[in-house]
Amino acid sequence: MRLLSQDDLTKILPINKTAIDRLVSMGKIPYKRIISAEGEAIKFCPDVISGWIKNGVNLMDNKKYLARLKNRLHASNPESIEELKKFSAQFVDPREPKRYYLEPVKNKKLGFVYYVKYLHNGVLIRTKWTTGTNNKELAIKFAIENRDRLLKEYLEGKDKPSIDIYSILKNYYAKDSQYLNIDIKRGRSIKEKHRIFCYNFINRSFIPYLKKMGVKTIEEITTPFLSKFQNYLLTKNKKGVKPMTVNIRISHISMIFNRLLLDGLISVNPCKGLVSIKSKKGDKKITGCYDIEKLKGVFNKRWDNDFYCILNLLIYTTNLRNCEIENIRISDFTVIDGFHFLNVPDSKTPNGIRTVPIHDFAYKKLMGYAKKNNKTDYILKPKAKIIQSTEYKKAAVELAKHLGYSEEFMEKENMKFYSGRHFWKTLTDAEGLGDIGEIFMGHKVSTDVSKIYNHKDKIGKTKKLEKVKHLFMILDKYVFKNS
């Protein structure tokens, strides 16, 4: 017998398609769910529909019907109802596990829809299916009625629910991301500034590229596809992205695929088959550095911008990294035998957690800046929580002006704010403190045998203070005019 479609039913009965959908969701009309190569469809058997019409369609909401029946029975038979209640109180129904879990997921059309996950053999299957509704009762009904079918298809490998790759990519590096939190618990370390950078790269570069290329499923993101993305980055804009930077950004994507791999959602990480882009000669430009005789007295001068003066003063006399400078707090300072030290409790690397000597001139300048600007905790960190890279660039240009150099000279010599760390190391090397970098710069000890067996953290307080005195003498000699 030929089954009827919804269109067929509207021609036979005085009912429209929306009403039919509602009757189906309420379970008030007999129907069959047919799955074919074209997809899933609702069909109706003519004989069954005829019987349904003859026996009375009974469209009353089941809840209302039960409520009315309850009221009628309780009102007319109060004594019997009370006796039943007392008898029932002796027993407890066995707890029947739900064996499913409903998860609300954002949806543009409905606000949200419920997705269902199933428990199978005591394990919650990570794959989830949409119920297509934000009505909890209907979602529960869907979860119960479709459990056997969905699990069977899933376990037989016939049904592979699509992964919302755009949602995962968009949210992996988001603040308080469930994906990233799992990886952090597994030992991944990521700084907030780096998290924000990764989030922006994925959402502003990778996702737009996927959409531009018409990618709809995760299966389309293959190793050859990512190789094309590498080429795209290399030629992006006029200058393109440097090879080393391309490799780093691919690693940000790879971390997401690693999470999907561990969750059993994919069988291979497409990033693992990529060949890293090799740097050509000249791709990596060495950061420039001022001659060690050039800075004498520059910080004794009056600067129009105290903030830029402090930034330069700190990096040129303490070798602190940018992220360490912006996180300086008043409470991080301590005094040992008359010398000021800055504790660095959080840094770019584990080796960066250290104690750094601060010259008395730099300490007084910094404290004066804090007092003038009513700083009681973080001294340099702005309300936006990080110092923008443009501010460091402006600080470098400001120093160049005080030294009599143009921006053209800075471009040619590749002079940057970070040149301050190069200057500090060059200066200490020239004055016989070549090993001081392993103590105060936060660098990882190199892997040669002599360095491995020379434990710098065991040199002792006396020796360390001798090096501090030597360092301050060097700064007095080359940087500060009044010494």
Report yes or no: 154 and 144 within 8 Å, Cβ to Cβ. Answer: no
Per-residue model confidence (pLDDT) at position 133 = 92
Q: To the nearest whole percent, how much of the chain has pLDDT over 90?
A: 24
Count of H-run helices and E-run strands, the chain: 21, 9
Report yes or no: 336 and 342 within 8 Å, Cβ to Cβ. Answer: no
- Around 479, how many Cα atoms within 13 Å sit in the side-chain half-sphere? 24
Instruction: Write out pLDDT tens, residues 254-311.
Output: 999 998 888 888 888 999 888 888 766 555 567 888 888 888 888 998 898 999 999 9
Per-residue model confidence (pLDDT) at position 281 = 56
Per-residue model confidence (pLDDT) at position 288 = 85
Instruction: Write out pLDDT tens, residues 84-124.
Output: 888 888 877 776 667 888 999 988 888 999 999 998 877 78
Per-residue model confidence (pLDDT) at position 74 = 92
459 vs 184, residue with greater confidence = 184
The percent of the chain in helix, strand and coil, each rounded to the nearest 5, is: 50, 10, 35
Of the candidates 387, 396, 248, the one whose C-alpha atom is nearest the C-alpha of residue 322 is 387
Question: What dihedral do alpha carbons 121, 126, 131, 137 form, nearest 10°?
Answer: 60
Report yes or no: 238 and 218 within 8 Å, Cβ to Cβ. Answer: no
Cβ atoms < 10 Å from Cβ of 239: 7
Helix (H) or strand (E) holding 115: strand 111-120
Residue 158 has pLDDT above 60, yes or no: no
- Say how far apart CA 383 and CA 363 lie, in whole Å: 23
Question: Do the bridges between strand 354-358 and strand 339-344 make them parallel or antiparallel, or are there none, so unpaired?
Answer: antiparallel
Per-residue model confidence (pLDDT) at position 184 = 85
Question: The dihedral of CA 199, 203, 206, 210: what is its sign?
Answer: positive
Per-residue model confidence (pLDDT) at position 468 = 84
Three-state SS letters, 205-226: HHHHHHHHCCCCCHHHCCHHHH
Per-residue model confidence (pLDDT) at position 483 = 47
**CA gyration radius for the chain?**
35
Residue 455 has pLDDT above 50, yes or no: no
Residue 242 has pLDDT above 70, yes or no: yes
Question: The dihedral of CA 459, 461, 462, 468: what is its sign?
Answer: positive
Residue 448 has pLDDT above 60, yes or no: no
| Over residues 400-415, mean pLDDT | 88
Lowest mean pLDDT among 21-25, 44-48, 393-397: 21-25
Structure-token pair, residue 127: 């794959």
Position 294, amino acid: K
Residue 458 has pLDDT above 50, yes or no: no
Report yes or no: 114 and 139 within 8 Å, Cβ to Cβ. Answer: yes
- Say how far apart CA 258 and CA 278 lie, in whole Å: 23
Helix (H) or strand (E) holding 107: strand 100-107
Q: How far apart are the first and last CA of the chain?
A: 105
Lowest mean pLDDT among 204-208, 270-274, 275-279, 442-446: 442-446
Per-residue model confidence (pLDDT) at position 336 = 86
Report yes or no: 315 and 421 within 8 Å, Cβ to Cβ. Answer: yes
Report yes or no: 241 and 233 within 8 Å, Cβ to Cβ. Answer: yes
What residue spans of 236-305 are helical by DSSP H? 243-262
CA distance readout (Å), 373 to 331, 380, 381: 16, 10, 12
Question: Do the bridges between strand 339-344 and strand 333-336 make them parallel or antiparallel, or are there none, so unpaired?
Answer: antiparallel
- Say how far apart CA 429 and CA 426 lie, in whole Å: 5
Instruction: Write out pLDDT tens, residues 50-75.
Output: 998 888 887 766 677 778 888 989 99
Per-residue model confidence (pLDDT) at position 482 = 64
* DSSP string of 302-323, one letter each residue: PPS-HHHHHHHHHHHHH---HH
- Say how far apart CA 277 and CA 299 lie, in whole Å: 42
Per-residue model confidence (pLDDT) at position 451 = 44
**Residue that has been written with the tokens 């009912």 in this structure:** 15
| Over residues 433-456, mean pLDDT | 51
Considering the chain, what is the average pLDDT of its residues?
Answer: 83
- Say how far apart CA 436 and CA 468 lie, in whole Å: 9
Instruction: Write out pLDDT tens, residues 7-30.
Output: 998 998 998 988 888 888 778 889
